Amino acid sequence: MASRKRSRKKSVTAPKKLSAKPVRRAAAKKPAPAAAAPAHPPQAVLMDALFGMMVTKSLSAIAAIGVPDALAGGPMYYTELADAVGADQRALHRVMRMLAGIGLFSENRPGAFGLTPASNLLRSDVPQSLRDMAVMITSRSHWDPWGRLEDVLRTGKSGPMHAFGTDVFTWFQAVENKGEWEIFNAAMTSFSAGTSHAVVASVAFDGFKSIVDVGGGHGYLLKTVLAAAPKAKGTVYDLPGVVQGAQPSDRITFVGGDFFKSVPPGADCYVLKHIIHDWSDRQSVTILSNIAKAMAPNGRVFVLETVMPETPEAHPAKFMDVNMLAMTEGGCERTVKEYEALFSKAGLKVAKVHPTASPVSAIEAKKA
């Protein structure tokens, strides 16, 4: 018995010493490589791109009938949601199910839909709302011209020329298109909400005394600029039919006119957001020349546009450029060098390019 106890004790307190050789082999052994992620099949890549049209139109329709506003208080089952917005229950469920599947709405339980940070911006009552932009992007003014892109590619003439027989801005002025004109102007204000604050954060406007927003619509950009320039006064200059629809605002005068003929004189700061990209080089030089003649000797011009990169990566300017191809008579996005050439012909020269946190840059120019 005693010997057995000692033997058992020995086996517990003095385990067999492991050889160092297998330890070295274990240390030297390399971990198995991780399995490569399966490649997205080319067919799936292409179909995702082709289905983009369905996503765009669905978002536009959902915004137009007020679904995001109805979801402001929290998720709703689709039957309740359909009743709230006056939609067919099954039709609404099918569209919402698709949009939730790509993450633009939530579906935490089957058939109950809610907002995500992205779709929250489709509400009409939130800061930087894109609801009006979503509605406009597939309204008749854009949907019909984009439907003629094959003709644009064959002829170089704009989509509105093929769809309406005239340029889009002339088409907007027809009495029967007043509703489309209002949608467009609301969308431009919506678009301004996403870029104006980024521009003001990157450009010091507080040293200017008189600021003119050329083509300023209903004044969202200028209101944002003046908030950062408390000693300045401002003028929104746009077509008479545009400024007539603007709400009165402190420190802002709304003036109707034609920037191809003249601009309000004597200011030390002129801003143009998404104006120059609407027009050909010749027309752009006319606008900029009128500003160069009117501005104070020490004045500055800020052209706010998505600057085209000279490198091959995806960039918002490339998408906007194709929109200009489809929608305008010679409008385009331009590189910094191309802007320098425009300014030079107008009697101006680039002083600085201010990048912003948005896709827009502020191209600052002064008298040559």
Do residue 105 and residue 244 come from a single domain?
no
C-alpha dihedral, 346 to 351 to 356 to 360, nearest 10°: 10
Specify the pLDDT at position 39. Answer: 76
If asked whether residues 86 and 217 sit together in one domain, one would say: no
Q: Is 243 part of a structural domain of the chain?
A: yes
Say how many CA atoms lie within 13 Å of 61 toward its Cβ: 14
Q: How many Å apart are CA 8 and CA 206, to the nearest integer?
A: 89
Instruction: Quote the domain boundaries for residue 341.
Output: 184-367
179 inside domain: no
Q: What percent helix, strand, coil does the chain show, rounded to 5?
A: 50, 15, 35
**Contact assessment for residue 356 and residue 201, using Cβ atoms and an 8 Å cutoff:** yes
Specify if 141 maps to a domain: no
Distance (Å, rounded) from C-alpha 50 to C-alpha 60?
17
Q: Per the structure block, which two tokens stand in for 47?
A: 């179909």
- One domain, residues 117 and 190: no
pLDDT at residue 27, as a whole number:
47
Instruction: State whether 215 and 71 are in the same domain.
Output: no
- Residue 26 inside a domain? The answer is no
Contact 279, 324 (CB under 8 A): no
Answer whether residue 276 is part of any domain.
Answer: yes
Q: Kindly name the residue from 93, 277, 315, 354 that is annotated as catalytic.
A: 277
Residue ranges for the chain with pLDDT beneath 50: 1-28
Residue 296 contacts by C-beta under 8 Å, 6 or more apart in sequence?
210, 266, 267, 268
Distances from the Cα of 152 to the Cα of 189, 291, 326, 329, angstroms: 28, 32, 7, 11
Q: 252-256 and 112-115 as β-strands: parallel, antiparallel, unpaired?
A: unpaired
Q: What is the pLDDT of residue 36?
A: 64
Q: Which amino acid is at 32?
A: A
Assigned domain for 293 exists: yes
CATH label of the domain that carries residue 111: 1.10.10.10
Q: Residues 94, 191: one domain? A: no
Task: Give bridge partners of residue 337 from the DSSP assignment.
Answer: none
pTM: 0.84
d(CA 4, CA 19): 27
Residue 3: predicted pLDDT: 40
pLDDT, tens digit, 9 for 90 and up, residues 27-40:
445 556 666 666 77
Tell me the pLDDT tens digit for each residue of 231-252.
Answer: 999 999 999 989 988 888 899 9
Instruction: Verify whether residue 93 is a known catalytic residue.
Output: no
Identity at 364, one-letter amino acid code: E
pLDDT in tens, 171-226: 999 999 999 999 999 999 888 887 999 999 999 999 999 999 999 999 999 999 99
What pLDDT, in 10s, does the model give residues 211-235? 999 999 999 999 999 999 999 999 9
- CATH for 215: 3.40.50.150
